[in-house]
Structure 1
Amino acid sequence: MPEYILRPINNFLDKKNSFQDKQERDAKSIISSVSSTHRRIIVLLQKKILTLALGLALAASSAVGYADTGAVPKAATKTGDIVVTATKTAHTLQDVPVETVLITREDIERSNADNISALLNYIPGFNFSQQSDLAGAMGYKNTVRGLNVESHYLLILVDGQRVFGGYHSGGMASAGFSHNVNVVPISMVERIEVVKGPGSALYGSDAVVGVLNIITRKATDEFKVSAGGSYGSYEVKGMDYTGVKPQETNRIRYEANALMSGPIVGKLKGVLALSHQVNEGIQPTIYDVLRNYIHGRLDLAATDKLNLAFGGDLTAWEQKKDELGDKKTEDAPRVWLTADYEISPLHNLALNGYYHKLDADFKDPWYGKQSADVSYQDVELKYTGLYFSQHRITLGFNYLNESLDTDVVVDKETATTSAYLQDEWSLLQGDLVLVPGVRFDHNDEYGDETNPKFSAMYKFTPDTILRASVGWSFKAPSGMETASQPMNHYVNWVFPNPDLKPEKAVTYQVGLEQGFFDRRLLVSATYYHSDLKDMIARCATGKTYLGLPVATFMNLDEARIQGVEATASYSVIKGLDLNLSYAYTDAINKKTDQRLTDTPEHSVNAWIDYNNSTYFWGGSFSMNYTGDQKNMMFTPAASPETEEFTTFGLKLWKDFQNVGRLSFEVDNLFDEDLKGSDTIYVGQMFMLNFRFGF
């Protein structure tokens, strides 16, 4: 093993002392512009049924006559929604030059998803099939395009700002090193923007497979008050990493939430939202788990040219089992301020700043007492201007300070200074858009990183759009990997390696979007290929400490990930929509020639939405097929792979005119088991939801 790897380990053994948006302004003012051959017979039958259903729906829509219904196709209306994450500038979804997936509040209301991970699982390339991500549940098996979400390959933003996600959101992170997507209760989400592919040219580290931007509820122009709640039961199945199966498998969960929004005085308006969630965990025994979430925001049109916004949220999470002396708590406040100044109708300046903190205190029968004090402080200045009527220039400067003080990483601060430049060059009367961009990051520990990206969009017709991009991205090593105290994992010691390099990827992708019948039918398909090098892996050193073998982290592995992702949505008749998505993922560790863990080669999602606007009721029915997945093999008790499985979901709802809504949901309708799974997972779930307001 190289000397530069062994040096820090030898030092420790000798001394026994170790080292540790723009807020979305009024965008209207600036816009002028499946299947595997090895599938079993039952899955083949399911696919044939879906194909037949689609064919019947097409025939039915032709017979009924769509124009006679007076309905506006859902697919057509959604393409006019505004998105900002892909380019940090405002575009309609149809015109955004970088492929973007949008989940609106309407989508959330129509789905039977009760958390963000359940919503994302319908997006091809996202695999959240084994872990439900209840508040307090583990999320270490969730992947996007073959790479682990908890390990920071997907950049997670809330209102355009990167966030920590501690244990309460699915991470195993008493030290704040892991994160997951369930950082905001779904009742607080206004919309979600997903940009798949390399994102480091605009966002820096961690945006290897994409950027997830969770947009929270905003202040409304009219006064509104609403409240709601849910109550239900769920089954826990499988086993934990030690092979222990759950007891008392039927468990209870509920949530209560409230929201007040509207004008306050003059041009000041605001929103205040609260959520209280309780469940009984997915540990082998029942735990008491709760999460309280408070979200607030103020918007002020200070002048005709200056808009100010101030907001924040607080997450307070607790999980305990008194009989075991097990108690974990986290408090995670976040505050932010934005100022948006219109220099002229064609030029804009925005200043954003935020502070995000995670305080954790754990008392665990296995690991004893642990604590963490982790924070982000970030300031960004962004200028956007239009030149020669063809070039929209975005120039930004960013300073990010990360502070870690935990039981395993002591008093570590890392600062990153960044600058980025992007040009959206419009040609052929807007039918061709070229988007070159580059970002320079200087990290005071890892040095300099330069990540370019080039994207292009060409409209053959308004309904035929080609998008392509190639870009470089990186993920910096974590403090756990470079500066932690040596950790006793009972079977070995794990030492840090301060000489780790960032992991780097080159990704290219090309996608075609096609609309038919006035965009009532909208289909898309994307091919991508990514090569990731210097992947950080844990490996043996050949040394021992206190009688146990010593392992450390090294830039050892390489991965090749490629695949095809396809979607189709069809507005059949007024209120009836069909949706289908498919992903083929070929994710290989090039060093071992083995598939990456927790990544199915094939996955299929299909769902039907119905909304009867005459009698105020509706529902949805969904199907999710997930192919077999290689497990992580923590212990000999674990199976080498989780077998393929298919689950179904159902939601029925009834509106009481302008008063509220009552709905009933079932996940995993036929109680499908995840055979071979090496984790405790949520099986069948029943939920009753209500909402009222004025």
Structure 2
Amino acid sequence: MDLLCDVFSRWGGRLRGRRSWRLGWLLCAVGLVWCGKGQGTTRTEADQIAGLLDLLETETQLATRSGMNADFVPGMATILLGDEMLARGARTVWEALTLVPGMSPALEVTGERQVLSRGVGHGYSSGNIKVLLDGVSMNSTLMATANPVLNMPIEQVERIEVIRGPGSSVHGEYAFAGVVNIVTRTRERVLGAIIAEGGAQGVAGRWFWEDPARDLEISVNLAGTQGDGGKAWVERDALDPLGLTVLSNAPGPANAAYRYRSLFTDLRWGESFAKLRLLDDANGDHFGINHFLPPDDGNRAARQRYVALQLGHRLALSEMFELELRAAAIEHQRDRDRLFVFPAGYLADEAVFMDQDYREYRYEAAADLHWHGLEGHRLLFGIEAAHVEVDEASWAWSGLPFALDPEWLDTARSRRILSALVQDQFSLGERVMLTATLRYDDYSDVGSLVSPRLAAVWRIDASNILKLQYARAFRPPTFYELEYAPKGDLHVGEIASYELGYIFKRPAWEARLILFHSDLTRPIQFDDQDLDGFVNGPDARLQGVELEYQYRFGARFKIDANLSLVDARRRDSDEPLAGGADLLANLALLWRPHERWTAALQLRHVGPRHRAERDPRDAVDASTQLDLTVNYRQVGGGPFVHLGVKNLTDTEVWFPDQLTSYDGVGLVYPDGYPTPGRRWWLSVGYSF
């Protein structure tokens, strides 16, 4: 027995420092389970194996493009595992991101999903987070958003990788306040069904096939859901402050009807791969584009359709050089069908509706060269090229008493991007890793940008890790913002961030702390003074602290908690940035009374949310929401059941509304955007 323990320890230690480090961690962890080397508490074998799986599943390439454990990458990375997100009651990617410290959800007026990171990201055409789907960028150049990806059911998700803070040195545009990569499920055979209160329903399925002799794998992942969205009740809309309630559809429910469809296929043959992603997402016009409540007719007035094809090949040139080649073609389509604009009697005798069509194409090519020529160094050289062009941008109106140009955006718009990056990860002994990254991006329409990053990770001992990082990022204006920037040129927004992180790990528990300070220069925003388009707003600064804590009581009980405190303010007036909350907190209690059963309570607290500076209303009230989920799953396959109740206590939760205008008049909902109350959901299926 002692001899086996010694073999596991010695060979695991040797391999952890080499390219086969995952095998090294596996051997060390197996040795730990085999030999019973727990410290500080008694742990069961099942608990140790669970810890081993957590370790192996926290590998990420998001921060450096090289596989590393999330604890050792520059900055703070969060990895949300799909099974645990389901167990905690998250239904979509958008909901799951609220489990990440410092991130909070928001809504655009017609229902498009938004995510704020450390208080940044509120407002129309908000695109301050880079959204990747299996490594492929999904941010449209029209508005830099990726609504269909945020609406993905968690049943399709293997894990979500998140970097909080700037990420442009590796990922370029829109990696301004964070980077999110959604990794979809593969290598599974599953059939499932989804139902929820209010007639919501859906199906999901996954299938894979492999031929080990040819080193060939094919997988398919599909889902489709639809429903009424919970029908949040609206008492008053923007017609109330105008004294025109006789024209209003309020009181009544918001039109939150939705339909989501997706198909993901993956083909891998040796070191070559192909990925096809089809997403079709449609939703109702929620609160109305001008804050006039639409009719409760279930019309899915807004639709987005993404088609993305990526091809790639990995090539080992020698023992020192590895080359990865990638090419992608992406179609972004955004349509409106009878979008409610004005009620009857406001501009004309009949109601005004709008139809709108938009389509853009993006073509990308990239090459990454990894070099391992010097001991303790890992060099990365990358080049990228992208071209974006608008294919269609037209609209048609019904009921409008005057004519408009049939094109709402210049269809001659295009953008060419050339990028290059170099990164050096070098070790000072076995405990200190330094990372230096420099990226250069040249845009054909908005100029050139340089994004540096310098980071250090010090593994003080087996329990303590210290991190330091300085990084800069940028956010170019979108096509929509450039089209509606009446005050002249719109410049690129930039951010510089300083971070200090600390991780403390013990066999049964771990804690993480990060302190950050960020300076925003010329952030792009909707003009909250004149309400006539997009401008570079005043400089701002962010500073705050994020805390994370996990504790395992054996193999049966787990606590997962985080707390975020942020102070995000404009430098000219010292007023808080709109949309964000100074305090965010999560607390999850997971109980596993039997290997097949899990119960989870998820508590989410959001402090008061700030409104725009010129908005005289009080901040949106704080809210605390409780979700309950019960899960059944057999180990190794078979039937599974997830049954949950969202907002168990039926708490009122509001999102801050955005400033909109018509003819220079600010139009707002008197109370903000309400959300649905208590509702149940059920996900069932069979794993083969």
Contact kept in structure 2, 1:80 and 1:93, CA below 8 Å: no
* CA contact 1:483–1:498 (8 Å) conserved in 2: no
CA-to-aligned-CA distance 1:84-116 (integer Å, 9 cap, x gap): 000011112333344211112332342211111
Cα deviation for residue 633 of structure 1 reads 8.8
1:478-517 per-residue CA deviation (whole Å, 9 max, x = no partner) reads 1112135xxxxxxxxxx5455111011110101000012x
**Pair 1:592-2:589 in alignment:** no
Deviations 1:55-110 (A, max 9, x none): xxxxxxx9996235652175564234321000011112333344211112332342
For normalisation by structure 2, the TM-score amounts to 0.78
Residue number in structure 1 paired with 2:388: 402
8 Å Cα contact 2:548/2:563 also seen in 1: yes
Distance in structure 1 (CA, Å) of the matches to 2:653 and 2:583 = 16
Matched, 1:229 2:193: yes
> Is 1:260–2:202 an aligned residue pair?
no
1:550–1:138 CA distance, 2 compared to 1 (3 A): closer
Contact 1:537 1:557 in 2 (8 A): no
Listed one character per residue, the Cα deviations across residues 275-296 of structure 1 (whole Å, up to 9, x for unaligned) are 1110114573556421211111
Please state whether the residue corresponding to 2:176 is helix, strand or coil.
Answer: coil
User: Who is 2:10 aligned against?
Assistant: none
Q: 2:622 aligns with which of 627, 640, 644?
A: 644
Q: How far did 1:183 drift?
A: 5.0
CA distance in 2, matches of 1:380, 1:455: 25
> Does the Cα contact within 8 Å between 1:319 and 1:329 map onto a contact in 2?
yes
> 1:313-365: per-residue Cα shift (whole Å, max 9, x none)?
21223346896987443332111111111123432100111111122331223
- SS at 2:155's partner residue? helix
The residue number in structure 2 matching 1:273 is 221
Q: Distance in 1 between matches of 2:181 and 2:490?
A: 29
- Check the 8 A contact 2:169/2:453 in 1, yes or no: yes
In 1: Cα distance, 2:41 partner to 2:152 partner: 42
Match of 2:334 in 1: 360
**C-alpha distance 69-359 of structure 1, shift in aligned 2 (>3 A):** closer
Q: Secondary structure at the match of 2:523?
A: strand
Task: State the 4+ residue runs in structure 1 displaced beyond 6 angstroms.
Answer: 633-636
Equivalent in 183, 194, 199 of residue 215 of structure 1: 183
1:198 is displaced (CA, Å) by 1.5
Amino acid at match of 1:507: S
Question: 2:512 — aligned with what?
Answer: 524
Change (3 A) 1:626 1:325: closer
Q: Decide which of 384, 389, 392 is 2:370's aligned counterpart.
A: 384
Match of 1:627 in 2: 607
Summarize deviations over 1:584-603 as a string: whole Å, max 9, x none.
Answer: 01011122211112211112
Question: Which of 631, 635, 641 is residue 653 of structure 1 equivalent to?
Answer: 631
Q: Distance in 1 between matches of 2:82 and 2:320?
A: 30
Describe the shift of the 1:260–1:70 C-alpha distance in structure 2 as closer, same or farther (beyond 3 A): closer
Question: Partner of 2:604: helix, strand, or coil?
Answer: strand
The 5 A counterparts of 1:150-169 are 151-164=126-139
**Match of residue 118, structure 1, among 65, 72, 95:** 95
Look up the SS of the partner of 1:202 in the other structure. Answer: helix
Matches within 5 A, 1:293-442: 293-301=262-270, 307-319=271-283, 327-363=301-337, 364-366=339-341, 368-404=354-390, 405-407=392-394, 408-411=408-411, 412-429=413-430, 431-442=431-442
Alpha-carbon deviation of 1:300?
0.6
Alignment-derived partner of residue 204 in structure 1: 172
Question: Match of 1:101?
Answer: 78
Which blocks of at least 5 consecutive residues in structure 1 are unaligned? 1-26, 34-61, 166-172, 234-250, 302-306, 485-494, 542-548
Q: What is the SS of the residue equivalent to 1:344?
A: coil
Query: Within 2, Cα distance between the matches of 1:550 and 1:624?
Result: 33
Give the distance between the partners of 1:313 and 1:558, measured in 2 at CA.
Answer: 38
Structure-2 separation of matches of 1:417 and 1:290:
37
Kept in 1, the 8 Å contact 2:578–2:613? The answer is no
| Distance in 2 (alpha carbons) for counterparts of 1:308 and 1:182 | 28
AA of the residue aligned to 1:30: R
Are the counterparts in 2 of residues 254 and 278 from structure 1 also a CA contact under 8 Å?
yes
In 2: Cα distance, 1:217 partner to 1:618 partner:
21
2:146 pairs with one of 155, 170, 179: 179
- Residues 176-216 of structure 1, C-alpha deviations (whole Å, 9 max, x = no match): 55334515332221111111122111111211212111112
Counterpart of 1:583 in structure 2 is: 564
Structure with the larger RCO, 1 or 2 (CA within 8 Å, 6+ apart): 1
State the percentage of identical aligned residues.
18
CA contact (8 A) 1:397 1:420 kept: yes
Q: Measure how far apart 1:382 and its partner are.
A: 0.4
SS at match of 2:653: coil
- Structure 2 equivalent of residue 689 of structure 1: 683
Change in 2 beyond 3 A, CA 1:266/1:564: same
Q: Which amino acid aligns with 2:92?
A: N
Counterparts of 2:298 and 2:134, CA distance in 1 = 38
Tell me which of 586, 598, 606 is aligned to 1:618: 598
> Which aligned pairs between 1:542-621 and structure 2 lie closer than 5 A?
551-614=532-595, 616-621=596-601
Separation (CA, whole Å) in 2 of partners of 1:225 and 1:559:
49
Count of residue pairs brought into register by the alignment: 579
Q: Is the alpha carbon distance of 1:634 and 1:275 closer, same or farther for their aligned partners in structure 2, counting shifts above 3 Å?
A: farther
Alignment of 1:467-482 (within 5 A): 467-482=467-482
Contact 1:75-1:569 within 8 A present in 2 as well = no
Task: Please provide the CA RMSD for this pair.
Answer: 2.9
SS, match of residue 89 in structure 2:
coil
Farther off after superposition, 561-570 or 311-320: 311-320
- Tell me how far apart the structure 1 counterparts of residues 489 and 312 of structure 2 sit (CA, whole Å): 37
Q: Give the secondary-structure state (helix, strand or coil) at the position aligned to 1:682.
A: coil
In structure 2, the residue matched to 1:72 is 48
Q: In structure 1, what residue type is equivalent to 2:226?
A: V
AA in 2 matched with 1:271: S
Secondary structure at the counterpart of residue 389 of structure 1: coil
| Structure 1 length-normalised TM | 0.78
CA distance in structure 2 between the partners assigned to 1:467 and 1:96 by the alignment: 9
Query: Aligned pair 1:507/2:502, yes or no?
Result: no
